[in-house]
Structures are given as C-alpha cells and as structure tokens.
C-alpha cells in the first residue's frame, strides 16, 4: 500500500526536551487522543482511537558516515477504526 506523509518534523533536542514533548503526547493520549501537531506554519490534527497497534523498535544503521542508533515508537490503526486490545508492554 502506498504511503503518504501528512506531517513530519525532525530537530536536534536534549533528552529533557524530548521527555517533555513525549509527556505532552502521553497526556493527550490519556485525555482524549486528539493531537494537534504543529511545527512553524505546518500543522496536522489526528484523533487516536482507544485501541491501536503500538510498536517499539530499536535499530542500528551502519553506513558511510558511521553508525546511527534509533528508538522508534509507532502507533498504528485502520483509518476510521481501531484494533483490539492486546497484552501489556513494560519498560524497566
């Protein structure tokens, strides 16, 4: 299925700044799931359903410029619907 990017943002930041942003996202998820993503003049609203697929991925990418590590968090659901609830994910 073709992919369409509706909003994208990337910037260098501190762990503290990233944690504050992720806390804001977590609060909106817990409250009503309505996120308004804004970066400069770009903006996109998304309503996240009560149940969705949640993926955590740690990757190592090696290329000509060295090695880059990443941790990705992805929330995914069928447009106009939601997925069924599954078991817990823990972070320690």
More confident of the two residues 83 and 24 = 24
Q: What pLDDT sits at residue 39?
A: 93
**Range from 10-14, 66-70, 87-91 carrying the lowest mean pLDDT:** 87-91
Among all chains, which residue has been given the structure tokens 């930041």?
A: 13
- Encode pLDDT of 30-87 as tens digits: 999 999 999 999 999 999 999 999 999 999 999 988 999 999 999 999 998 877 666 6
Question: Taking 90 as the threshold, does the pLDDT of residue 4 lie above it?
Answer: yes
Query: What does pTM read for this prediction?
Result: 0.80
Task: For 37-61, give one letter per residue: b (16+ CB within 10 A) or e.
Answer: eeeeeeeeeeebeeebeeeeeeeee
Quote the tokens at residue 73.
């968090």
Nearest in space to 37 (alpha carbons), one of 23, 47, 50, 52: 47
Q: What pLDDT sits at residue 86?
A: 62
């Amino acid at each position: 299925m073709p992919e369409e990017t509706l909003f994208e943002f990337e910037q260098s930041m501190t762990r503290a700044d990233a944690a504050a942003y992720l806390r804001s996202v977590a609060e909106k998820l817990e409250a009503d799931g309505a996120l308004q993503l804004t970066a400069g003049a770009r903006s996109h609203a998304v309503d996240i359903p009560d149940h969705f697929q949640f993926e955590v991925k740690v990757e190592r990418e090696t290329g000509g410029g060295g090695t880059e590590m990443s941790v990705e968090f992805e929330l995914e659901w069928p447009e106009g619907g939601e997925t069924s609830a599954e078991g817990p994910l823990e972070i320690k």
